[in-house]
Amino acid sequence: MFTPDFPRPEQSHRTARRRGAVLLAAATVTAAAAVATSVPAQAAGGKGGGRAVHASSPCATGTLRLKAKHDAPVLDVGAQLETGVAGQAWTVTFTDNGVLVWTGSLTTAPVGGGFGVARPMPDQATADVITVQAVLGTTVCSATVTL
């Protein structure tokens, strides 16, 4: 006796349910990832070693990057500027909620044309809005993160 090779109606319902379950699982994972990346650093890790928050901004011929994280009782804050041009003397400032925390002059290195700076900052009782600004002549670059 010949049996056709096409699925029976109940099999196609099962296949449709499986596809629906897979799509639901994929949507759930995508939604969970979106929520996880939108959680503020303070909520994600508390005041005792939370996740680092990053920001970057185009700057001159390169990129200015800012990274900050809670590490009770301070914030670990670092910035990196890569321009590809060696010997440039930039004035760099860090502010927390608009209050100047640190300023200094940094020169891009002969190899790679960049520099990096790290500074601990007091952790405010309220949300911290950290901004790094790098100035070279009329070129002003900045990046901001909120913790």
Model pLDDT for residues 111-135, shown as the tens digit of each residue: 889 999 999 998 888 889 999 999 9
What average pLDDT does range 8-22 have in this prediction? 53
What pTM did the predictor assign? 0.65
Model pLDDT for residues 35-92, shown as the tens digit of each residue: 333 334 334 444 456 789 999 999 988 999 999 998 888 999 999 999 999 999 999 9
Longest dimension (CA), the chain: 89
The CATH superfamily assigned to 41-146 is Macroglobulin (MG2) domain (2.60.40.1930)
Alpha-helix runs per DSSP H in the chain: 9-38, 41-45
d(CA 41, CA 38): 9
Q: Where are the domains of the chain?
A: 1-38, 41-146
